[in-house]
Amino acid sequence: MAPRTIAPFGPQHPVLPEPIQLKITYENEKVVDVVPALGYGHRGIEKACELNEYPKNIHLCERICGICSCMHGISYCEVVERLWPMEVPPRAKYLRTIWSEMSRTHSHLLWLGLLADALGFESMFMQFWRIREKVLDLLEMTCGSRVTQSVSVVGGVRRDIDDEQKKICIRTLQEVRQEAEALINVLATDPTVKARTVGKGVLTKEQAILLGNNGPHLRASGVKEDCRMLGMQAYGELGFEPVVETDGDCYARALVRARETLQAIDLQLEAFSKMPEGEIYVRPKGSPPANEAVYRCEQARGEVFYYAKGNGTRKLERLRVRTPTFANIPSLLVMLPGSELADVPIIVLSIDPCISCTER
């Protein structure tokens, strides 16, 4: 038997912008065992949310993760709205959908860039991030901030998109779609990309379900499951159909995310054309009653689960957030053993890990 070596992967590693550690045991370049060590990003947001009054928690929840920030804010507002329960105006629902899809577009472009970077395809990394800046400009124009959008409040949204902005959005999104499509074609057909991703980190349909995976990671294994099918916000009126691939390897995951990027742009364009006129905010009455609610929403990385429990006061009794990466990390314990050491960064990246989400 060859000698075994244990190598720490992280917490500070060039592939990962965020701190997570994987203790990898390997034998002749073959990975034998993996133990994840978390905790480098744990802040204790769930507890902090019990200390503040419920409208202030929006700011905390948006800072669970900076990349999916917009959707965390929206999910928190939706779960608190369900405690009454109360209904938000239709225009606010459309605006929430548009901002969700906009942040999905920027998140997927970011991930596609990081994948290219992990493969050593520097120029493609730069190109994806160049396109992404256009989406960030749109977010800045409509929300006022590049990263933490902070547009959603309990009862609706804070800002409206006027006709002038709408025109700019539609024009820019069409440009982005064209440029992204061209780049994605290169990514999907390039032989070196295929050599590094096809057949790596394979997860079958049964394994993926039993491991509780979600999001693009689950859909790449051939399971047609997407929280947007629940029809919350305006998705029910947009004719949404999830993107599914069947191979379950890193290449399939990249394809799912690439196709979802284009789909997200189409959804935004459709939402712009169907958006009704009207109010964007209703004032919630008093404090949330003693009730519980759950809400699930499809973020860029997968399904996020929010649970809230009110007790009739202005503070929440309990808030629980289960983020997509929290459920996707156990799949690494199955995918990594047996793979080559050199493929570890790609396989880890293929679940689109978001550590600050995971540990809150």
Binding residue for another protein (CB under 8 A) from 322, 339, 343, 344?
322
User: Whose CA is closest to 252, among 244, 264, 240, 260?
Assistant: 244
CA distance 279 to 157: 10
Binding residue for another protein (CB under 8 A) from 74, 102, 211, 265?
211
Please report where in the chains the tokens 């809230």 appear, as a residue: 308
Let me know: does 228 contact 236? Beta carbons within 8 Å.
no
Nearer to another protein, 13 or 159 (CB): 13
Residue 317 interacts with another protein (CB under 8 A)?
yes
- Supply the minimum distance, in Å, between the C-beta of residue 285 and another protein: 18
Binding residue for another protein (CB under 8 A) from 22, 31, 65, 119?
65
CA distance 234 to 94: 5
CA distance 153 to 284: 10
Residue 7 interacts with another protein (CB under 8 A)?
no
Residue 23 interacts with another protein (CB under 8 A)?
no
Nearer to another protein, 12 or 273 (CB): 12
Residue span 73-92 as binding mask against another protein, x where in contact by CB under 8 A, dash where not: --------------------
Beta-carbon contacts of residue 305 (< 8 Å; ≥ 6 apart) = 294, 295, 296, 320, 321, 322, 323
Binding residue for another protein (CB under 8 A) from 33, 133, 190, 237?
133
What is residue 65's three-state secondary structure? coil
Binding residue for another protein (CB under 8 A) from 25, 179, 282, 307?
307
Binding residue for another protein (CB under 8 A) from 29, 175, 206, 241?
206
Nearer to another protein, 31 or 45 (CB): 45
Binding residue for another protein (CB under 8 A) from 110, 176, 184, 336?
110
Residue 48 interacts with another protein (CB under 8 A)?
yes
Query: Is the alpha carbon torsion for 219, 294, 212, 299 positive or negative?
Result: positive
Residue 69 interacts with another protein (CB under 8 A)?
yes
- Supply the minimum distance, in Å, between the C-beta of residue 41 and another protein: 4
123-142 as b/e: b if 16+ CB within 10 A: ebbebbbebbebbbebbeeb
CA distance 58 to 78: 11
Residue 118 interacts with another protein (CB under 8 A)?
no
HSE of 359, CA atoms in CB hemisphere, 13 A: 16
Residue 224 burial by Cβ neighbours in a 10 Å radius (0-12, 13-18, 19+) = exposed
HSE of 91, CA atoms in CB hemisphere, 13 A: 13
Nearer to another protein, 223 or 254 (CB): 223
Q: What are phi and psi of 308, to 5 degrees?
A: -130, 145
Q: How many chain residues interact with another protein (CB under 8 A)? A: 80
Residue 318 interacts with another protein (CB under 8 A)?
yes
Interacting span for another protein (CB under 8 A) from 167-175, 182-190, 212-220, 339-347: 212-220
Interacting span for another protein (CB under 8 A) from 141-149, 247-255, 267-275, 336-344: 141-149
Binding residue for another protein (CB under 8 A) from 22, 24, 31, 64?
64
Beta-carbon contacts of residue 298 (< 8 Å; ≥ 6 apart) = 215, 226, 227, 228, 304
Interacting span for another protein (CB under 8 A) from 160-168, 181-189, 273-281, 319-327: 319-327
- Supply the minimum distance, in Å, between the C-beta of residue 164 and another protein: 23
Please report where in the chains the tokens 């419920």 appear, as a residue: 54
Residue 41 interacts with another protein (CB under 8 A)?
yes
